[in-house]
Amino acid sequence: MADKKAQLIIEGAAPIDLPVYSGTLGPDVVDVRGLTGEGYFTFDPGFMATSSCESKITYIDGDKGILLHRGYPIEQLAEKADFLETCYLLLNGELPTDAEKAEFVSTINNHTMVHEQLKNFFNGFRRDAHPMAIMCGVVGALSAFYHDSLDINDHKHRQISAIRLIAKMPTLAAMVYKYSLGQPLMYPRNDLSYSENFLHMMFNSPCEEKKVNPVLAKAMDRIFVLHADHEQNASTSTVRLTGSSGANPFACIAAGIAALWGPAHGGANEAVLNMLDEIGDVSNIEKYLAKAKDKNDPFKLMGFGHRVYKNFDPRAKVMKQTCDEVLAELGINDPQLELAMKLEEIARNDPYFKERNLYPNVDFYSGIILKAIGIPTSIFTVIFATGRTPGWIAHWNEMISGPYKIGRPRQLYTGPTQRDYPTNK
Ligand code: CMC
């Protein structure tokens, strides 16, 4: 039922009435679906003004720097909830009771191992393969192992696939790292928390098991919480679009991982560290800022700017605080981290960045924290993917649970008009 009505007037044609709907928060939307019947499409490359779906999961106000999951501000979740509680919230719509949380954690723990045969897939990859290339492959391959949960129309199947994906992502992420080193793959330990277990699988070996530093485990958990969902971004929209064809959840999440890999999206955390390598020294900052401002130079300041946030990214605020905690705990004195802090300070006071509302985003600080924890740059985006998995699944599940249509955008065609194949060819 429309809340209001809009009228589209196109020269030479009768006015077209379009329904307008209001959400609980955010701008009203004009329902343009009826335009096709009138002989028109809308044109919105990059989906700057297009709501691709109705959703109850996450709300962002980019101008005010607000991010809510199921209504709860991200700052409060980062402070009070852990990652698995956030997963529960995203998947189920409400925070769990203590009993529900305990049951959820125990169910996740029951699924942390991957099928032994999945290890064979790793051997097919070069040791120097990019970890995201391996992740796309092995997460997609999960669909070949769990035939018992691939019926997307069965609520129970969707639930168990969600659990399997959230439980196995850290195991796979750590396996990717260990494979790159040529070290034995570590089994998960279910007596540890989600983030402790991840760091255990990353940094311990069968011949030496050290206790995971709780400050680093907390920082890791926070990174997962801060990445858990972000509304209809490129990878989530990819998951929805892939899922709209009826593809299985493992295939959909593999597609999301591929979309996340790009440097304009999740690949930015890795790109930040590569950029810092390129800048090299504080004395080069001005030169690189000039390059970032030069329209003829493709160089961009990685970790700055956001499609939606035109104010400080609320996740970046929490991430900066965590960054300070981790650097203090580890007593790190790394010239590259000093360079990052100086770059941040100079760019934030530069008129070009101020006028365009280009603030450091979540990836700027997460890259620095991950480096300090000892995680290699090439694994950064894999960690983003692990954190984003509950969001991807929540959106996929929301779509499949309601009435949906296969995603099929149209186009403004500007190619040749119909012509005949040459007779002399
Ligand atoms: N460095 C220099 N200039 C920039 C940057 C940057 N990082 N980002 C935007 N601009 C300029 C851009 O050139 C344009 O200038 P003008 O108005 O003079 O033409 C203006 O700012 C607006 O930028 P835009 O390209 O229209 O913004 P967008 O919404 O299309 O792009 C973005 C958003 C995130 C792709 C872009 O800011 C960017 O490439 N940033 C660096 C990559 C990055 O850090 N990505 C991670 C995003 S956060 C994690 C996630 O959610 O995935």
Note down pLDDT in tens along the chain; length 425 residues.
678 999 999 999 999 999 999 999 999 999 999 999 999 999 999 999 999 999 999 999 999 999 999 999 999 999 999 999 999 999 999 999 999 999 999 999 999 999 999 999 999 999 999 999 999 999 999 999 999 989 999 999 999 999 999 999 999 999 999 999 999 999 999 999 999 999 999 999 999 999 999 999 999 999 999 999 999 999 999 999 999 999 999 999 999 999 999 988 888 888 899 999 999 999 999 999 999 999 999 999 999 998 888 888 899 889 888 888 888 888 877 788 789 889 999 998 999 999 999 988 888 888 888 988 999 999 999 999 999 999 999 999 999 999 999 999 999 999 999 999 999 98
Residue 375 Cα to ligand 1 midpoint, Å, equals 26
Catalytic residue flag (residue 363): yes
Residue ranges of alpha helices (H) inside 349-408 are 351-355, 362-373, 380-401
Residue 359 Cα to ligand 1 midpoint, Å, equals 10
Question: Which residue minimizes the CA distance to atom 11 of ligand 1?
Answer: 356
Active-site residue identified among 130, 227, 230, 306:
306
In this structure, what token pair is assigned to residue 329?
């705990």
Catalytic residue flag (residue 265): yes
Cβ 268 under 6 angstroms from ligand 1: yes
Quote the pTM value.
0.92
Cβ 358 under 6 angstroms from ligand 1: yes
- State which of 235, 346, 356, 370 you would mutate to test the pocket of ligand 1, scoring each by most atoms of that ligand within 8 A of its C-beta: 356
Distance CA 77, CA 307 (A): 23
| pLDDT at residue 150 in the model | 93
Nearest atom in ligand 1 to 361's CA: 48
| pLDDT at residue 317 in the model | 87
Q: Give the residue among 238, 297, 310, 311 at the shortest CA–CA distance from 52.
A: 238
Catalytic residue flag (residue 306): yes
CA distances (Å), 327 to each of 80, 286, 319, 330, in order?
Answer: 22, 25, 12, 5
| pLDDT at residue 1 in the model | 62
Distance CA 122, CA 138 (A): 8
Whether the CA torsion 410, 414, 419, 422 is positive or negative: it is: negative
First to last CA, the chain: 58
| pLDDT at residue 363 in the model | 85
| pLDDT at residue 299 in the model | 94
